[in-house]
Structure 1
Amino acid sequence: MLIRALPVLSLLLAFACNTPGTTVPAEPFKPSISLRPVAISLAKGATQIFQAEVNYPEGQRPLRQPVAWTVVEPEGGTITAAGHYTAPATAGTFHVRVTREDFPELTATATVTVN
């Protein structure tokens, strides 16, 4: 009798644990940002397209990536809002930074060596 009752008891427990409307709490959203490439060598005046990767909360997709691009050094070249970098006419080591506009404390930086 105990052997027959055990499967029924297991089934009842499974149904009780999976009642409709019961949800498992989701992990809190943890924003992130990354940048590609992270290091590159370019000739003076050459161009490079940088790509930012950001994550979004489940079910959300913005119309455009919420990122802002900057060149850290004042004479380190230029970068457009789309991540198109143009190296300066001077050799040196420079840095391209991308910042999440929706989480401005999150940044990623790439090193650009201009020869």
Structure 2
Amino acid sequence: MPAVDSPLQVDATLFDEIIQSSRVPVLVDFWAEWCGPCRAAAPEVERTAREMAGSAIVLKVDTDKEQQLAARYQVRGIPNFAVFSAGKLVKQQAGVVGHDVMETWLRSAALAASA
């Protein structure tokens, strides 16, 4: 997959495909249009996608449209962030976080995968 410098809005099928095939860590932002904290986090998510392009992939999952996918990862509060590496969930946290935290998660996942 080529370097992507913005978050990709995905459905369950594309989500599964990217998670399983990605050679770089993947940050997933579970969100909804009506969620104020999700909108507050959006610029940080976009910055992370831009600054980590080529080193990570950032996905956005609309929990209203993809309820089964949100349920699969027990998303009960949004925003909810999940980091995947080599097809496996390695970190998950609800609540707004900044770009620096997201970048740290992704860099840690990349280091763990290369160890």
User: What is the TM-score when the length of structure 2 is the normalising length?
Assistant: 0.23
Instruction: Name the structure, 1 or 2, with higher relative contact order (CA <8 Å, separation 6+).
Output: 2
| TM-score (norm: length of structure 1) | 0.23
Greater Rg by CA: 1
User: Higher helix share goes to which structure?
Assistant: 2
Bigger proportion of residues as strand: 1
